[in-house]
Structure 1
Amino acid sequence: MNPAGSTPGELDTPAFTPDWGEDYQRLSRNPGNIALFRDRRRAILEQQYQGFRDGMPIAELIHGHARRIDELLKLIWAQKGLADDDQLCLIAVGGYGRGELHPASDIDIQIILEGEHDPALFDRISDFVTFLWDIGIEVGHSVRSIDDCTREARDDITVATNLIEARYLAGHLSLFNDFRGAIEPDRIWDSRSFYAAKLAEQQARHRRFGETAYRLEPNVKEGPGGLRDIQMIGWVTKRHYGAERIEELVSLGFLREGEFREMMEGQNFLWRVRFALHMLAGRREDRLLFDLQRQLANTFGFVDQNHNRAVEQFMQRYFRTINDLERLNELLLQHFNEAILDDPEALQDPVRIHQRFQVRGGYLEAAHDQVFMIYPPALLEVFRLLQEHPEIQGIRASTIRLIRAHRHLIDGHFRRNPVCRELFMDILRAPRGITSQLRRMNRYGVLGNYLPAFGRIIGRMQYDLFHAYTVDEHTLNVVRNARRLALPEFAHEQPLAHQIYSGLVRPERLVLAALFHDIAKGRGGDHSELGAHDALHFCQHHGLSDADAGLVAWLVRSHLLMSLTAQRKDISDPEVVMGFAREVVTRERLDFLYLLTIADIRGTNPELWNSWKDSLLQTLYHATRNVLDRGLDTPPDMDEQIRQTRTEALALIEQQGFDTDQARKLWDELDDEYFLRHSADEIAWHGRALLPLPPDALPLILVRPKTSRGSTEIFVYASDHPRIFARITSALTQLGLDIVDARIITTAGGRTLDTFLVLESGGGQTVDAGYRSEEIRQSLERELEREGTIPNPASRQLPRRLKHFDVDTQIEFEPAAGGQATRMRLRALDRPGLLSTIGHVLAEQGIDVRTARIATAGEQVEDSFLLSRPGSAALDDEDQAGLRKALLGAI
């Protein structure tokens, strides 16, 4: 889209005024001098960068860059003998056609060529394009006739879009005018079909760039709310209304002055971000990569503050900007739908469904412009009506604008109004539409105004790989996930959770816990404690009983308890389960916390959830429920648990025709820990393989591709030696497997029974049966049959994203129950082969691993190891100091 008042070949923008006169004369006198022209190209870029550093308005920079490139192209065009041909025309298309050029933007040109021409002309065109590349102007170019242009544009909406941006540069002007006439809406892509195609294109782009990977490193151009969304408005404005400038939408009644200023301010900010990305990266880069985010924060003047890092402040500014632009885009597209796509007759006769609202063309509309001024609670009532009438498609653009214009009415008086409080709770108690209306309330600024604490987390991003979404988006994802557990059509995803949800009384308490669980992020202090205080205050003022308010506050305070217990502690230990049960106290709390934990993990980052974590939470839930049913005053009876496990395992072994006396004899070599840390099914699986095994047939490797634990189980039976953990972890790492759990049992006869639970690296999936399982088994056999030195730690290349995070390695030791082992907790930057490195160090130090629990959260790991000296002795102070030093050196 041409800037205001532009004519072919001109840009109506403030002049970008480096010294060009002498350079122009020098270049004019030295046609074909690649070095001189290349220097000029470099000088233009350096002047751009310096202008940015000096604070020059971004519009001047990017339009000025286009002007300078125009001048170079025109000069070279003339020097190559192309200026005098009356059937030849050079035009700028795409973003360059709009007169917008960032430092590394595409420079797209098209040469229109009509009639018969001497072959020498094509040589001159080729020479022209080659010369541009030689001097550092990397153009995208095509040579087409007008018929070629219309044919390709008719077949491809992207080509058509590029061409409607066309701007004359040089050559025969009448040819350019003929070209413009050939692509007018009455010839190809009428405004209705053009808009429908571009709308579908935007929706597909939003789905693609709204995925998790793009949320962590958003695309400033293509992502939702990015520059492409603004361009979309420009294209539709140009095609449907024949307008050259977005600001003409104000005079057409589609935009208000304030909205236009908001759009331009947002565009200028994104232009500055994109410009800085190109400058810092030294190439075209439209993604806010992790390695650039901190540099961008510094470039934009953000500094670290207490509990609020500069990079997080910058990213919050970015996300708030694109959120605002996405809302404006939605508003304008709704207007365009009504003006371009909708049947005018369907908009004629509104249907009144409420004293303050009516339905027009399938969309809810305020009955008059003073609705919200006369009755402010209608700012909540409108969303409750949408829940009650799911057949309504949405809110009309004019009413969206009224909501945005009256948000200021949601003040302290509004929040204290009993009518407003009841309406808000009605929305949370509704049988359907809770998440969709909360999202809509967030988009229109109502939710952040009604809950000021929620308003502070809008757009807030945490600089890590664990949280894929802004805090407000994550919160609404958690609400959605919690509500999804209630729906029969999704019961197959979480059968246990669905069953529990079906038995909940007053499920709005779960919705409230989800809404408040992270509401205090970024304030400093413990966000769980601060959020619990906010939740309690809210509930007490919104009609909940003291008991219900207390439950919601407890859930917010304890929302991390279950996930941390399941992932970082040994939940096969009855004492761990008892400790968790004492925190939970009641079955009701357990049910609510289990559902909230599932919803929270799945709403943090879709890549975090897998069958292993699902299994951990279910195991902890059932174990805790048993404790609560038995009573907290009844201590765990480990002897009874062991007897029950042995009895169940014997029954399974007997079913397979094995001698139970032989099984008992085998088990006599194993201590109680084996029966506490393995299920009856696992023990029977081991027994069926070990009982017929000849004494010298070692090592034995068993692989179960998928187990009830939600992982692939690898069982290793071999002669014990200090290097075995290092060897196994090294081999599994080289196979591309992530180890999530390890249990090492040593027999009185010097054998080791090691169980490793693994998932495929990256995807979190169990391994395929067949070839993959056999590959694992054979690789481990080869590794364990090797003799000699400790294997070198296995390693794989560090992923790009991990290179830019600083995670201090922390190592803590504590005595384990019984006094015969030491618990080591390790926090470090995640990287491929880390566990193999740890195993290597432990082997060098002569330390045995009895259990290992591996927990990864984004860019960091928090692993737990139960360690001992040979002979089951705990590590003394000297052992711990030596191990700490060796691990820090290796990691």
Structure 2
Amino acid sequence: MADFIENFKKLSAELAEKFMTDGRVTSYLSAHTAAADQCIREIAREENLSGDYALVALGGYGRKELFPYSDLDVMVLCDHDPDQKEGEKIEHFLMRLWDMGLTVGSSVRTVDNALNESSRDITVQTAILEARLITGNASLFAELQKEFFRQMDAAGFYRAKSLELRQRHQKYEDTPYSLEPNVKESPGGLRDLHVLFWCSHAAGMGSTPEEMLAAGTLSAQEADKLKEAHHALKTFRIYLHLMAKRHEDRLIFDLQNRVAKAAGYKDTEHQLAGEALMKRYYLTAKSVMQLSDIFMQMFEDKFFDEGYVKENVIDRTFIARGYTLDITHDGAFKDDPNAILRAFYLLESSAPLKRLSVSLLRELMSARELIDEHFRQDHANKSMFLQIIKMPHGVSHALLDLNQWGILELFLPEFRHIVGQMQHDLFHTYTVDQHTMRVVRNIRYFSRSEYAHEYPICTRLMQSMKDNWRLVLAALFHDIGKGLGGHHEKIGADILKAFCERFEIDQETTDYLIFLVREHLTMSLVAQKQDLSDPDVIKRFAEVVQTEDRLNGLFLLTVCDIRATGPKVWTQWKSQLLQDLYWQTLPLVRQGGAPDRQSLLLQRQKEAGKLIVEAGVKPEQIEAIWKTLTLQYYLRHTAESIAWQTVSLAKFFPTESPFVATRVLAQNAGIEILVYTPDRAGLFASILGFLQKKRFSVLDARIYTTLDHKAFNTFVVSDNGSRDINQLARELEPELTEWLTHPKELPKTKPGKLSRRSRHFPLQPIVNIEADETGRNWLLSVTCMDRIGLLFDIATILNKYHVNLQTAKIMTMGERVEDVFLIDGEALKDIPTTVAIERDLMEVLTPNL
């Protein structure tokens, strides 16, 4: 290998070491680019290539922004199509570039080829836009540049790049606030700035902030913000590459703290270094999004002028020009500060208006300093904010824009601390403020008929609810107590109370809002962690809710909150659990009382019996099965579930052989499995071993032993992949029957491997065993990281100590589980043995990090 390639690698390492010391971004990128240029020139000279051809740097390399592990994009520009000998020579040259240790992107083109390709492919056109001569035939490169810009269609280029930007934003869910953002591709990342520079360059309006300022494209303030954001994002990217020692543009959890420490951030009493780094990143991304909105709209106006549009003066501050809301004069907000909030109200409440003008957005960026304590206490501003909350349409858009432009946190100081705040847990995907905005969006979806097909019950409740704007306000405040220490729902309720007093909201509405925020976790916890077939559970929940209006609001807020948490958290099973809890509670809050257990037993038997007879089962068959069951069984199952189980079993009853039946639950929420077989030690663990082997997640388990010593167990499982759920249900019956008929040796328990995200947020398992209210049973509560085989390991430990499991409630939140088991057994009456069980569970639940 030639010395100059080794010299390049040595210099790259020295530049990286120097950057880690001084953090000088521009000098690093310039020096790294210059080092690559020199190495390529030396290789070209050695290959006798430089005189006949133009070697051209493209893309980021062309911009002189060669990051530590960026691709080396090089085009060999020829004055004619190379013959075989010339082609082999060029190919050998390009192969040698790989020896530099970087990924090489290469192309060989004539001027005509390059121009034709760029006219057909926007990616090629963008690359050539930033082309730079490294060495070789300067006149050939000049010819390419001249013809390229002569045929450049700036308007067409802008349209293509804006569509590309929109598609990329949609890929990243239109938010820069994911917890592991891509500093290059995510909304608000480097690519957004590149699009601005490209469109400006194509239009002859400057390709850098300095050139754009000189051309009058942007103001001095905007140029400073653009340079600051660009510098910050480049800093993030260099550190990411150096810390990862590869081409890595994602601020993944594994790297956040390492990058933060390398960049000089330090842990404080209230904030980790990684959190401070991410806060800075989110503020930078927000600034980029603001600048992008302004300049992309400016290019739109330049290239696609509407021509004559009807103007409509709204008031002394605003004028409507076609579908654009504009200000009547410079300094409009200084003359009328109340108009800051009014702008967002007018935009969303006036059907023809679709956007804010460039001049209005620029004024808005400067006018934020007007939002002081006097502004916040102004009755007109408080009234306007509530008008926005109460709008029939456009509420979520208005709040999203108010947050995006930094108005919301200035007007509501209590909102400020959650802006860009990370959530260090295993299930949230977004920062607290963005999660909040998504909850608001979900709530507003339920007021629109076009979304009625998704959750018809939610749409019906929302549209029939009096003053449903209250839910928007509750959503806005539901997580506002996060990061302040203590229980965030209680802190949030206190913050909301102060807000209601400040905004003079009546006492009845205030009480309703405080209830929703204080209890916004309750319905989810009851539905997922408690036995919904137990009438006492429903009765206690009804006593908390008290009214139908509160039940409706809490149900809607809970659904919207879980759905906004992350793509993996909301499932059809959780939807079904919440609906079950809602429908069982509704009669109690309407009637104000709950039936006793005996009445409930008779009611369930009557309803189930009717369904069973309709299915063709004879009364004597029903009696034969039911006389082996006790009250406990009926309290654990709904009438519909009792009917399905009885009908399924009636064809084979009585039997000493294992019997398995399955059915797919409504909306494919899961597969319900009925297992009827002679009871034996380790049966539950054996079934779980089978389900683990078949890659199922157990969502619910109910263990029951009949009076004639048969296991009468039911499970609800979901698929861990994307297999056909109906086919899986059909295959389960014979396979599980065979497994039970010829039991296999079970695998040993061992701590399982964790996902990358779980390893970054290590969660010490919590195990607690305590007697229930009756003193006859015990509750085992387990909180730990989720993994395949977790429930099997728990069952194996319980089996070791001859502890019987009656019910299992599985609550999965992202990659964390909070499971509750109802258990009994002689071992639990002995304290040392109970401690031993807890110790063994802790050992098997503690992950290998």
Determine the structure 2 residue equivalent to 1:889. Answer: 843
The alpha-carbon deviation at position 306 of structure 1 amounts to 4.3
**Cα 1:429/1:623, change in 2 over 3 Å:** same
Determine the structure 2 residue equivalent to 1:164. Answer: 129
Determine the structure 2 residue equivalent to 1:279. Answer: 242
Report if aligned partners of 1:795, 1:833 keep a CA contact under 8 Å in 2. no
* CA distance in structure 2 between the partners assigned to 1:67 and 1:709 by the alignment: 59
Determine the structure 2 residue equivalent to 1:27. Answer: none
Q: Which amino acid aligns with 2:790?
A: L
The alpha-carbon deviation at position 320 of structure 1 amounts to 1.7
Question: Please, which moves more after superposition, 222-231 or 506-515?
Answer: 506-515
**Cα 1:493/1:124, change in 2 over 3 Å:** closer
Report if aligned partners of 2:696, 2:719 keep a CA contact under 8 Å in 1. yes
> 1:467-509 CA deviation, whole Å, 9 max, x = no partner?
1111111111111111222222222222222222233222222
2:628 paired with 1:672: no
2:591 paired with 1:637: no
Determine the structure 1 residue equivalent to 2:692. Answer: 733
Report if aligned partners of 2:176, 2:286 keep a CA contact under 8 Å in 1. no
The alpha-carbon deviation at position 242 of structure 1 amounts to 5.6
Report if aligned partners of 2:695, 2:719 keep a CA contact under 8 Å in 1. yes
Q: Which amino acid aligns with 1:346?
A: Y
Q: Which amino acid aligns with 1:783?
A: W
Determine the structure 1 residue equivalent to 2:40. Answer: 73
2:725 paired with 1:768: yes
Determine the structure 1 residue equivalent to 2:314. Answer: 353
Question: Please, which moves more after superposition, 403-412 or 247-256?
Answer: 247-256
2:620 paired with 1:661: yes
Q: Which of 372, 387, 396 lines up with 2:357 in the alignment?
A: 396
* CA distance in structure 2 between the partners assigned to 1:213 and 1:809 by the alignment: 32
* CA distance in structure 2 between the partners assigned to 1:695 and 1:112 by the alignment: 85
> 1:750-785 CA deviation, whole Å, 9 max, x = no partner?
21111111122267x9x622x322222233223212
* CA distance in structure 1 between the partners assigned to 2:85 and 2:177 by the alignment: 48
Q: Matches of residues 562-641 of structure 1 in structure 2 within 5 Å?
A: 562-631=523-592, 634=593, 636-641=595-600
Determine the structure 2 residue equivalent to 1:30. Answer: none
2:217 paired with 1:263: no
Report if aligned partners of 2:542, 2:585 keep a CA contact under 8 Å in 1. yes
* CA distance in structure 1 between the partners assigned to 2:765 and 2:131 by the alignment: 56
**Cα 1:699/1:118, change in 2 over 3 Å:** closer
Q: Which of 87, 91, 101 lines up with 1:136 in the alignment?
A: 101
The alpha-carbon deviation at position 697 of structure 1 amounts to 5.3
Question: Please, which moves more after superposition, 160-169 or 207-216?
Answer: 207-216
Q: Matches of residues 268-417 of structure 1 in structure 2 within 5 Å?
A: 268-306=231-269, 308-343=271-306, 345-346=307-308, 350-417=311-378
Q: Which amino acid aligns with 2:147?
A: A
The alpha-carbon deviation at position 244 of structure 1 amounts to 3.9
Q: Matches of residues 432-471 of structure 1 in structure 2 within 5 Å?
A: 432-471=393-432
Report if aligned partners of 1:459, 1:470 keep a CA contact under 8 Å in 2. yes
2:788 paired with 1:832: yes
Q: Which amino acid aligns with 1:755?
A: T
Determine the structure 2 residue equivalent to 1:686. Answer: 645
Report if aligned partners of 1:316, 1:459 keep a CA contact under 8 Å in 2. yes
* CA distance in structure 2 between the partners assigned to 1:91 and 1:157 by the alignment: 18
- Percent of residue pairs bearing the same amino acid type: 35
Q: Matches of residues 91-102 of structure 1 in structure 2 within 5 Å?
A: 91-102=56-67
> 1:173-207 CA deviation, whole Å, 9 max, x = no partner?
101111112211x32x4101011001101110111
> 1:504-542 CA deviation, whole Å, 9 max, x = no partner?
222222111111111122122222122112211111222
Q: Which amino acid aligns with 1:301?
A: G
Q: Matches of residues 483-882 of structure 1 in structure 2 within 5 Å?
A: 483-631=444-592, 634=593, 636-693=595-652, 695-696=654-655, 698-707=657-666, 710-761=669-720, 768-769=725-726, 771-787=727-743, 789-792=745-748, 798-869=754-825, 874-882=828-836
* CA distance in structure 2 between the partners assigned to 1:708 and 1:120 by the alignment: 65
Instruction: Tell me the SS of whatever aligns to 2:209.
Output: coil
The alpha-carbon deviation at position 50 of structure 1 amounts to 1.0
The alignment's TM-score, normalised by the length of structure 2, stands at 0.96
* CA distance in structure 2 between the partners assigned to 1:491 and 1:122 by the alignment: 62
Question: Please, which moves more after superposition, 197-206 or 809-818?
Answer: 809-818
Question: Please, which moves more after superposition, 377-386 or 123-132?
Answer: 123-132
2:23 paired with 1:56: yes
The alpha-carbon deviation at position 791 of structure 1 amounts to 3.9
Report if aligned partners of 2:749, 2:844 keep a CA contact under 8 Å in 1. no
| Cα RMSD (Å) | 2.2
* CA distance in structure 2 between the partners assigned to 1:336 and 1:317 by the alignment: 28
The alpha-carbon deviation at position 212 of structure 1 amounts to 8.8
* CA distance in structure 1 between the partners assigned to 2:356 and 2:379 by the alignment: 25
Report if aligned partners of 2:783, 2:816 keep a CA contact under 8 Å in 1. yes
**Cα 1:561/1:622, change in 2 over 3 Å:** same
* CA distance in structure 2 between the partners assigned to 1:310 and 1:116 by the alignment: 55
Determine the structure 2 residue equivalent to 1:19. Answer: none
The alpha-carbon deviation at position 627 of structure 1 amounts to 2.2
**Cα 1:543/1:719, change in 2 over 3 Å:** same
The alpha-carbon deviation at position 74 of structure 1 amounts to 0.8
Report if aligned partners of 1:212, 1:468 keep a CA contact under 8 Å in 2. no
The alpha-carbon deviation at position 665 of structure 1 amounts to 2.9
Q: How many residues end up aligned between the 2 structures?
A: 845
Determine the structure 2 residue equivalent to 1:20. Answer: none
2:3 paired with 1:39: no
The alpha-carbon deviation at position 211 of structure 1 amounts to 6.7
Report if aligned partners of 1:421, 1:542 keep a CA contact under 8 Å in 2. yes
> 1:310-352 CA deviation, whole Å, 9 max, x = no partner?
3333222211211111111111111111111223x236x6321
**Cα 1:212/1:239, change in 2 over 3 Å:** closer
Instruction: Tell me the SS of whatever aligns to 1:241.
Output: coil
* CA distance in structure 2 between the partners assigned to 1:578 and 1:212 by the alignment: 41
What residue ranges of structure 2 are gaps of 5+ in the alignment? none
* CA distance in structure 2 between the partners assigned to 1:553 and 1:393 by the alignment: 35
* CA distance in structure 1 between the partners assigned to 2:175 and 2:324 by the alignment: 31
Report if aligned partners of 2:175, 2:187 keep a CA contact under 8 Å in 1. no
Q: Which amino acid aligns with 2:62?
A: G
The alpha-carbon deviation at position 847 of structure 1 amounts to 1.9
Determine the structure 2 residue equivalent to 1:103. Answer: 68
What residue ranges of structure 1 are gaps of 5+ in the alignment? 1-32
Q: Which amino acid aligns with 1:199?
A: S
* CA distance in structure 1 between the partners assigned to 2:833 and 2:174 by the alignment: 47
Report if aligned partners of 2:702, 2:715 keep a CA contact under 8 Å in 1. yes
Report if aligned partners of 1:578, 1:636 keep a CA contact under 8 Å in 2. no
Q: Which amino acid aligns with 1:290?
A: F
Q: Which amino acid aligns with 2:609?
A: L
* CA distance in structure 2 between the partners assigned to 1:442 and 1:40 by the alignment: 50
Instruction: Tell me the SS of whatever aligns to 1:608.
Output: coil
Q: Which amino acid aligns with 2:348?
A: Q
**Cα 1:788/1:406, change in 2 over 3 Å:** closer
Report if aligned partners of 1:735, 1:776 keep a CA contact under 8 Å in 2. no
Instruction: Tell me the SS of whatever aligns to 1:215.
Output: coil
